[in-house]
């Protein structure tokens, strides 16, 4: 997922030698591509795309129940302490997040730098579009960090801030889609740790990364508004550990946002992701 493989778990298996930015699920992307990596496995040379572990795939029920959207935080009222909202059922059970996506839809990321709008085309990569649609609907990307941002290459994100949620989604892989579109500027693809290992990690291409096409990174969406916001994401930390001094995907997976906020305070985040018309 190196969803690309520079980071700890199974480095960006198919990354091209590119630089990258700021998950225990290391997947590969071009080197500087995004990826989800495997613990204990040394990252490939130029490219940095981590790999994902090989836990058994999560079985799907014959008829998945209705997807439950993420619950908003409870508003504090006088005389009543504010209580954090519990994760939605689907956040802790990927088998509940299997709805088919519309053929076309838009998703808005409200980020710490401004709004970004993605246009999703299911025909480009149906499995990827369906997974993304479900993750957005259940609130998976809310408060998700852009933890690997490499200037000129890509901005990678998609590891949840709660380790309990990561534990459930790390083995929830989806099969690959044929590559129909190219990884050009603004295109959005899943990071991966090898064949059929996509889970939740994504990356937005900063430039012409068409070399990633032959490695199986299949774009399913593109940025149609706010690319200047994406360009402004924090790039101070460079490539992730162990190749660079940026965040370790393994530690994000196991410690969540508490690790990122303590050691990488300048990172940018998706405050809220939502499907819009």
Q: Report which DSSP code applies to 95.
A: G
How many separate domains does the chain show?
A: 1
78 domain residue, yes or no: no
| Nearest Cα to Cα of residue 144 among 33, 247, 12 | 247
Whether the pLDDT of residue 3 is over 80: the answer is no
72 domain residue, yes or no: no
71 domain residue, yes or no: no
Could you tell me the two tokens for 252?
């994000």
Phi, psi of 207 (to 5 degrees): -140, -160
pLDDT score, position 87 = 60
Phi, psi of 238 (to 5 degrees): 65, -150
Could you tell me the two tokens for 75?
């508003």
Model confidence pLDDT, tens digit, residues 103-155: 999 999 999 999 999 999 999 999 999 999 999 999 999 999 999 999 999 99
Q: Are 190 and 198 in contact (CB under 8 A)?
A: yes
pLDDT score, position 64 = 45
Task: State mean pLDDT over 78-102.
Answer: 74
Task: State mean pLDDT over 49-64.
Answer: 42
Q: Are 103 and 172 in contact (CB under 8 A)?
A: no
Domain that holds residue 148: 95-276
pLDDT score, position 20 = 39
pLDDT score, position 88 = 77
Which CATH number covers residue 219? 2.40.100.10
Quick one: CA dihedral 198, 28, 53, 223, positive or negative? negative
**pTM to 2 decimal places:** 0.74
**Alpha carbon distance 94, 111 (integer Å):** 25
Task: State mean pLDDT over 208-218.
Answer: 96
193 domain residue, yes or no: yes
210 or 23, greater pLDDT: 210
215 domain residue, yes or no: yes
Containing 270, the helix (H) or strand (E) segment is strand 269-276
Could you tell me the two tokens for 188?
């959005």
pLDDT score, position 52 = 38
Task: State mean pLDDT over 233-239.
Answer: 96
Residue with tokens 């998700």: 144
240 domain residue, yes or no: yes
Using only C-alpha atoms, the chain has a radius of gyration, in whole angstroms, of 17
Whether the pLDDT of residue 28 is over 80: the answer is no
Exposure string (b/e) for 44-83, b if CB count within 10 Å is 16 or more? bebbbbbbbbeeeeeeeeeebeebbebeeeeeeeeeeeee
Q: Are 172 and 146 in contact (CB under 8 A)?
A: no
**Alpha carbon distance 146, 143 (integer Å):** 10
218 domain residue, yes or no: yes
Q: Report which DSSP code applies to 62.
A: S
23 domain residue, yes or no: no
Task: State mean pLDDT over 221-237.
Answer: 98
Exposure string (b/e) for 216-240, b if CB count within 10 Å is 16 or more? bbbbbbbbeebbebbeebbbebbbb
- Rounded to the nearest angstrom, the gap between the alpha carbon of residue 12 and the centroid of all alpha carbons in its chain is 14
Query: In 3-state terms, the chain is what percent helix, strand and coil (to 5)?
Result: 20, 20, 60
Quick one: CA dihedral 256, 44, 218, 216, positive or negative? negative
* Band (270; pLDDT cuts 50, 70, 90): very high
């Amino acid at each position: 997922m190196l969803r690309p493989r520079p980071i700890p778990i199974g480095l960006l298996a198919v990354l091209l030698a590119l630089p990258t930015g700021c998950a225990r699920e290391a997947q590969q992307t071009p080197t500087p591509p995004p990826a989800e990596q495997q613990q204990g496995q040394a990252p490939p040379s130029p490219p940095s795309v981590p790999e994902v572990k090989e836990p058994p795939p999560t079985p799907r029920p014959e008829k998945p129940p209705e997807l439950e959207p993420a619950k908003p935080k409870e508003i504090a009222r006088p005389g009543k302490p504010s209580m954090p909202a519990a994760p939605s059922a689907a956040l802790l059970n990927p088998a509940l997040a299997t709805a088919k996506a519309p053929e076309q839809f838009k998703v808005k990321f409200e980020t710490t730098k401004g709004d970004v709008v993605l246009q999703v085309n299911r025909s480009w990569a149906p499995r990827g579009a369906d997974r993304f649609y479900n993750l957005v609907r259940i609130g998976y990307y809310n408060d998700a960090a852009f933890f690997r941002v490499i200037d000129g290459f890509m901005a990678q994100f998609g590891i949840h801030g709660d380790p309990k949620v990561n534990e459930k989604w790390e083995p929830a892989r989806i099969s690959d889609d044929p590559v129909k579109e190219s990884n050009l500027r603004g295109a959005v693809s899943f990071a991966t740790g090898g064949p059929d290992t996509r889970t939740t990690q994504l990356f937005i291409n900063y430039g012409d990364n068409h070399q990633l096409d032959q490695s199986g990174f299949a774009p399913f969406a593109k940025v149609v508004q706010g690319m200047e916001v994406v360009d402004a994401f924090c790039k101070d930390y460079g490539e992730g550990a162990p190749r660079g001094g940026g965040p370790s995907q393994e530690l994000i997976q196991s410690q969540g946002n508490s690790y990122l906020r303590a050691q990488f305070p300048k990172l940018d985040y998706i405050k809220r992701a939502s499907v819009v018309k």
